[in-house]
Structure 1
Amino acid sequence: MTKLDLEQEKYPGLRKGLVMIVGGLSLLFLTGVLLGFTVATFEHGGPNVTDAAIIAAILAMIAAVVFAGWKLWPRDIDEPLSPSTRKARNWMNVIIGFSVAAGFAFAVMEGPESASLFSNGPLNPVVAMLALIGWLVVTPAVSWAWWRNVDEHEAAAYRDSGIVAMHFYFFLAPAWWLASRAGWVPAQDPMIVFAIVTTVWLLAWAYRKYT
């Protein structure tokens, strides 16, 4: 057994957290690049050979990130899973899959002129209705199903990270509001604040769960 193998066995939780954070951010970035480039390509009449090659290269990088995450993810040895823990993991996969699909569909339906999560322009009523149903009906239902099956450690990590995120928002929002009124920073955008606080929540959750 090599020194690397020993380190992996000693700190499997930390390694899981790093793979999740770095891999997740990389996938988010590459998916955004792929979506933006694809929308721009079809806006200008469809992909040519060069465009197709670039899209293929981006897809290859996404596949490489997924493969690297799978290879680097520590393997649990002789660790039986309870039925509730297995269900919780399955529901988490459903949440992730639905979020990715919904975000992609939302950006595509908005159209190339406003394909941005942070746009404050007018929105098609049908797109808005579908987004609201997904956010206010589907997401809470799936999240509740996940919450009912988590174990004590997962529940504690979720609660603690939520407290960290709420305190971060408690200080960030008023500070940004005051600084913007003084002319030091741009006006506060609710979706940017939402994204920042969500990122803090995810980082705190990964640290609490895997260390």
Structure 2
Amino acid sequence: MGKLSDQVDWQYLLREFWLLYRFGSAGGNPTIRSHLKEVRNRLNAELEKNPTVAFDQPNHLPVCAWFNRAIDQGLNERTAPLARAVMRVQDQLTWRYGYERMRPGLARKYAYAELLGPNGPVISENLILGIVLFAPKCTYPEHSHDGISESYICISGSISDSNYSVFSPGSLLFNPPKRAHRMTTGDFEPTLLAYAWTGEPEKLANQKMDFSVRK
């Protein structure tokens, strides 16, 4: 356990998140613009605290077999600085599912690694940042989040949101609280996304993730 000031690679990783949320386009949408600003402001506040860094046991799940390919693809995109920053901390990542019961087949095609949040490794009560990796031909079932505003920025690959839109590297997906959404990936390449969650501290700390759709 130590402080963020002692972890240079992690400082730069969080800085790349800040830059994405500073210079990423809101497409003229005031709600998304407000979310981008909120993520930046919360991240600034956390960085000023020089937060605690507490590494858990590194953990690899089956989908991690696609990680290097996802990074290689990301290094060819405008998201290359973030892909490179993620690559430099890959041996310190703890990959998780976030579900007590996984749907058949999904366990080999999906996992996430929290970077900043209640579960660390960079400890924060007010913001969650992380990455999520999908294998090709993955369908992430429809779900929603209670009290959480969520955004994804595509680092590599492509992803379809509820069969209505396709997002490629640099694109941002935004889901306000309780919006049901489903994600699917392409046939040949993995997809790596950066994500940010904002909400009240108790919601961030106790988010009950399942595949049910909250109405």
Query: TM-score when scaled to structure 1?
Result: 0.22
Q: Which has the higher strand share?
A: 2
Query: TM-score when scaled to structure 2?
Result: 0.22
Q: Which has the higher helix share?
A: 1
